Amino acid sequence: MFMIDFKQLNWWYWLATAGLLTAGVVGYPLGFHLAISLSLVQLIHFLLQDRIEIHGKAIWQYLGYHR
């Protein structure tokens, strides 16, 4: 099922990324680059929001890697 929640920031990130990917598929290669850039912005935003230690072991656990 689709979950539309206008009050959640992650939903707006998803919508913008989907629009940019669609633009890339229909013939605008810049759409792919902008979608990747927006995804990196989203990653940094949520990492800072959750206060995950970038240099510590917590980031590897967050990404699913186990040593």
Summarised one tens digit per residue, pLDDT across range 17-67 is 999 999 999 999 999 999 999 999 998 888 777 665 555 556 666 666 655
* Class of residue 36 by CB neighbours under 10 A (exposed 0-12, middle 13-18, buried 19+): middle
Contact 31, 23 (CB under 8 A): yes
> Which tokens belong to 51?
């206060």
CA distance 9 to 39: 13
pLDDT the model gives residue 5: 73
pLDDT the model gives residue 39: 93
pLDDT the model gives residue 34: 96
